[in-house]
Amino acid sequence: MTLAVQEEKLAKYYLTYDQRKQELNVRFASKVAQPYIAFRGSKAQQLFTQIIDTFRINAVEYQATSFGRGSMIEIGPFTGAAVTLYLTIIYGARDMSKWRFVLSDLLSGKVLFAKFLMQLQELATTLSDYYEIAAEDRIESKQIISPKALRLVSRVMRDLIMGITRTTH
C-alpha cells in the first residue's frame, strides 16, 4: 500500500483562517472540533499566508474552501501533523520568520528528530491537562492546548532545534 493510499484512510486536519475574527486555528478529524491550537491578531494572517506559500513551494496538495471572510484548508494527516508541530514551535516566538525553514524541513522529511518534537507536543497536551486540574478558575478554553503549556513547550522545542542545527551545520 502506498503512502498516499495510507494517508487517505487517516483523519484529516483543517487549517482555518477567519479574517473577521483575525484567527488561525488547526482542528483534527472534524471541521467543527475544538481547535488544537489557535493564533489571534496580526500573527494569524501572517502565519496563514506563510503556511500557504510554504505549501506551494513544497508542492503540498490541499483543498481550500472559502467562507465569508475566511478560508478553510483541508490537509492530510502527515501534512497536518507537520503544520501542528510548526505552530507549536513558533507559538511564543517573537520573530516567526526566523523559524520558517522548520515547516519546509518538516514537510520534506528533513527533520530527523521530528519524533522528539512530537513527544514534546504530547507533553504540551499532558501539561494542559495538569494546568486545567491545578487551576482554581475554570475558564472555558478556546483551544485544546493551553497557552501556558504551549509557551513552555514551544521554548524547549526552539532550543532543541537551535542546539541540533548548530551542531550539524
Q: Which three cell numbers stand for residue 20?
A: 473577521
Q: Which range among 23-27, 134-138, 150-154 shows the weakest confidence by mean pLDDT?
A: 134-138
The residue with greater pLDDT, 10 or 41, is 41
- In the predicted model, what is the mean pLDDT of residues 25-29? 93
| Residue ranges in 36-76 assigned as alpha helix (H) | 42-57
- In the predicted model, what is the mean pLDDT of residues 25-36? 90
Residue 65, strand partner residues: 72
**Each residue's pLDDT tens digit, 88-138:** 999 989 888 889 899 999 998 887 777 888 888 888 888 877 777 666 545
Determine the pLDDT at residue 167: 67
Q: Which range among 41-50, 65-74, 128-137 shows the weakest confidence by mean pLDDT?
A: 128-137
Residues 6+ apart with CB under 8 A from 117: 85, 88, 89, 111, 157, 160
- In the predicted model, what is the mean pLDDT of residues 74-94? 93
**Each residue's pLDDT tens digit, 131-150:** 776 665 455 567 888 888 89
Q: Residue 143 sits in which domain range?
A: 3-168
Q: What is the total count of domains within the chain?
A: 1
Q: Which three cell numbers stand for residue 105?
A: 524541513
pLDDT surpassing 80 at residue 168: no
* pTM of this structure: 0.81
